[in-house]
């Protein structure tokens, strides 16, 4: 009898071991599968306010959803100053958001939720909030880059840490042309200077993005006066993602719909809808001169891949 019991116990042990091995094998296979799945580009998008990323939303969506890459955002301000066009947002949220005192109390939390919702649509992994004051509209960069109105040293330390830990392939900023908000230009400089300071083995390539319409003249920009680090390479081409391409299946759907999904999350910000973001046909990216020229080929490959991924038209 004891022999039978011994054989049963031995069988059970072997069976358990085989099951454990199978589970271990499946776990390891799953890890390898996930590892091979997440082989796309790693990108950090640096902006000033929640909603600024709407100019890059289709690129971000396609990187995460179609190229299986990783996208993070670094957002400089708390968004508390965005109340000038919040009339409908006031109705939606049941708060008098057009009143500056009410807005500065409630908008930072509201806009964090809005950008979190938008980020889910675009597949964004992390949002790093720098919590600088969204004080007032001005074209002047000096109050911010000087450290008078923003804690620039704090932002620099965080940006350095993020770049060191995350090992990005690309960093995207807004195009810091003279007509931009002072916050936008400062945010771009924070991204540029962080890449300049980067001491790692694989320095990320930094590019400047801006939305454009097919029927409008492109924004002319070579460098923000007084800030040579913003110089755009005179020899590199610009890179374009076509939002307006209509899918072959029915000729009714385009990636503009993704941009609309993202914009619709910003209930507190009426102007970005009213100003016709849906009519934006392209996202145009330019190559900062501070990059190594060898990086141009990498950016070209990124946009070639984006042009061929998902439902986009194959390149000819």
The pLDDT of 212-225, averaged and rounded, is 91
Residue of 267, 141, 255 lying closest to 192 (CA atoms): 141
pTM for this entry: 0.86
Q: How confident is the model at residue 273 (pLDDT cuts 50, 70, 90)?
A: confident
The pLDDT of 36-43, averaged and rounded, is 75
pLDDT for 62: 97
Is pLDDT above 70 for 63?
yes
Q: Which residues contact 300 (CB under 8 A, 6 or more apart)?
A: 237, 239
- What 3-state DSSP class applies to 129? strand
Place of tokens 């800030």: 227
pLDDT for 276: 61
Query: Mean pLDDT of all residues in the chain?
Result: 88
The pLDDT of 198-205, averaged and rounded, is 94
**Dihedral angle of Cα 149, 118, 113, 70, to the nearest 10 degrees:** -70
pLDDT for 277: 64
Q: How confident is the model at residue 190 (pLDDT cuts 50, 70, 90)?
A: very high
Q: Note the helical H segments in 38-99.
A: 57-65, 87-93
Q: How confident is the model at residue 313 (pLDDT cuts 50, 70, 90)?
A: low
Strand arrangement, sheet containing 126-132: 126-132, 70-77, 42-47, 170-174, 205-212, 282-287, 239-242
Distance CA 256, CA 253 (A): 8
Tell me the per-residue pLDDT of 236-264, one tens digit each, with 9 for 90 and over.
999 999 999 888 767 788 999 999 999 99
**CA 177 from chain center: how many Å?**
19
């Amino acid at each position: 009898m004891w022999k039978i019991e011994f054989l049963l116990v031995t069988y059970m042990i072997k069976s358990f071991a085989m099951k454990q091995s199978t589970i271990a094998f499946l776990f390891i296979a799953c890890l390898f599968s996930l590892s091979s799945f997440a082989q796309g580009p790693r990108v950090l998008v640096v902006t000033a306010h929640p909603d600024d990323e709407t100019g890059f939303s289709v690129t971000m969506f396609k990187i995460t959803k179609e190229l299986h890459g990783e996208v993070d955002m670094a957002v400089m301000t708390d968004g508390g100053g965005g109340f000038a066009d919040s009339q409908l947002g006031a109705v939606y949220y049941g708060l008098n958001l057009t009143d500056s005192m009410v807005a500065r109390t409630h908008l930072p939390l509201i806009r964090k939720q809005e950008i979190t919702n938008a980020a889910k649509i675009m597949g964004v992994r992390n949002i790093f909030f720098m919590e600088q004051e969204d004080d007032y509209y001005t074209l002047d960069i000096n109050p911010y880059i000087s450290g008078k109105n923003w804690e620039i040293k704090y932002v620099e330390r965080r940006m350095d840490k993020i770049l060191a830990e995350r090992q990005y392939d690309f960093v995207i900023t807004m195009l810091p042309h003279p007509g931009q908000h002072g916050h936008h230009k400062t945010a771009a400089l924070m991204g540029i200077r962080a890449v300049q300071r980067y001491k790692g083995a694989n320095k990320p390539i930094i590019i400047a993005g801006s939305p454009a319409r097919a029927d409008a003249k492109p924004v002319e920009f070579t460098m923000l006066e007084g800030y040579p680090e913003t110089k755009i390479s005179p020899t590199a081409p610009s890179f374009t993602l076509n939002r307006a391409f209509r899918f072959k299946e029915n000729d009714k759907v385009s990636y503009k719909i993704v941009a609309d999904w993202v914009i619709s999350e910003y209930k507190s910000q009426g102007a970005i809808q009213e100003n016709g973001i849906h009519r934006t046909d392209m996202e145009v990216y330019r190559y900062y001169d501070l990059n190594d020229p060898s990086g141009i080929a990498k950016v070209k490959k990124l946009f070639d891949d984006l042009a061929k991924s998902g439902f986009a038209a194959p390149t000819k």
